[in-house]
């Protein structure tokens, strides 16, 4: 089973294509999410076709048994999938089974009630307030041109000061300048949110615009590469990596860690969890709640240092 080729019969393949189209159109699934869904459901359907040894059509999808599901999960585990990836795959299968049941009049209760493997969520790895401030100062330290140093500082300031993802910062266009007091951001799944703009971020972007040697049309990227094209995220990741090495910060000091730092430091300062959820654009409060665990862990670390055990 581990080496089966995930090729589906035309009818099932067409059904999967239709379901994926619905995920994109109605639920705003991001491209990477859609690719993962396609891969997971494709492997599930291919496994069932081989495992059951019978004609496996759309009507049969919702009727698979718990033992069928356990066999599939066992095969995926044997293939090396982590508990987290297995849980994601099962979630995708549940979505497809529910859709199939709706189309064929079947009952997907067995599939939908199946529990995935438990796994421990990785806690976000924020920087300290001092570390985040040091990155903003140092990230442009080895840039070949002054305006690129100013650009990298502006981008890092948006990540830390506004809690943006790097993709969101780099998707800003010339129409975003000057930054308004509240910025409308389109995030994952096409969801929009309003983010207050702190003066430091507005000033950093102003400084970049003044230094940038390229004209910034309203419909063109705000942040430009050395040749005038859009900035590749890898350039910012590399600049951050070099800065953290100079500062002696851990390998977890990535651009996304600045977004984690924004949330963690806001929470430490008494920020409301629901408000932070809105600012980050998290669909579920449970995702934002991970920052409470980080805050508690940091509190215990301070406590241990202040009250060392004998």
Which one of the listed residues 282, 298, 303, 307 is annotated catalytic? 282
Identify whether 256 is a catalytic site residue: yes
Helix, strand, coil shares, percent, the chain, to 5: 60, 5, 35
Closest CA to 166 of 139, 142, 144: 139
Which one of the listed residues 60, 244, 259, 260 is annotated catalytic? 259
Contact 160, 166 (CB under 8 A): no
Identify whether 218 is a catalytic site residue: no
Identify whether 303 is a catalytic site residue: no
Which one of the listed residues 43, 151, 165, 260 is annotated catalytic? 165
Which one of the listed residues 188, 193, 242, 298 is annotated catalytic? 188
* Cα separation, 296 vs 278, whole angstroms: 21
Contact 129, 302 (CB under 8 A): no
Identify whether 260 is a catalytic site residue: no
Which one of the listed residues 37, 160, 208, 291 is annotated catalytic? 291
Distances (CA, A) of 208 to 7, 155, 201: 50, 9, 11
Residue whose pair of structure tokens reads 């650009």 in the numeric block: 151
Identify whether 291 is a catalytic site residue: yes
Which one of the listed residues 125, 242, 256, 298 is annotated catalytic? 256
Active site residues: 165, 188, 256, 259, 282, 291
């Amino acid at each position: 089973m581990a080496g089966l080729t995930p090729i589906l019969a035309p009818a099932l393949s067409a059904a999967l294509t239709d379901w994926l189209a619905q995920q994109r159109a109605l639920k705003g699934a991001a491209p990477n999410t859609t690719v993962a869904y396609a891969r997971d459901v494709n492997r599930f359907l291919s496994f069932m076709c081989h495992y059951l040894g019978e004609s496996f059509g759309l009507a049969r999808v919702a009727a698979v048994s718990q033992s069928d599901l356990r066999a599939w999960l066992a095969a995926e585990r044997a293939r090396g999938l982590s508990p987290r990836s297995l849980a994601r795959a099962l979630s995708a299968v549940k979505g497809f089974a529910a859709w199939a049941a709706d189309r064929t009049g079947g009952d997907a209760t067995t599939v939908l009630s199946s529990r995935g493997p438990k796994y421990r969520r990785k806690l976000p790895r924020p920087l300290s307030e001092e570390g985040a401030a040091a990155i903003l100062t140092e990230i442009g330290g080895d840039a070949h041109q002054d305006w690129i140093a100013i650009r990298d500082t502006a981008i890092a300031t948006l990540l830390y000061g506004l809690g943006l993802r790097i993709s969101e910062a780099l998707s800003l266009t010339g129409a975003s300048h000057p930054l308004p007091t509240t910025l409308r951001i389109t995030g994952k799944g096409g969801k929009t949110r309003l983010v207050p703009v702190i003066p430091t971020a507005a000033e950093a972007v102003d400084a970049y615009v003044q230094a940038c040697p390229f004209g910034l049309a309203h419909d063109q990227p705000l942040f430009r590469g050395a040749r005038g094209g859009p900035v590749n995220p890898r350039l910012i990741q590399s600049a951050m990596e070099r800065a953290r090495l100079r500062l002696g910060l851990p390998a977890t000091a990535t651009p996304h860690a600045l977004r984690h730092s924004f949330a963690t430091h806001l929470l430490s300062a008494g920020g409301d969890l629901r408000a932070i959820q809105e600012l980050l654009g998290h669909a579920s409060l449970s995702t934002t709640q991970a920052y409470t665990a980080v805050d508690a862990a940091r509190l215990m670390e301070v406590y241990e240092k202040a009250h060392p055990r004998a």
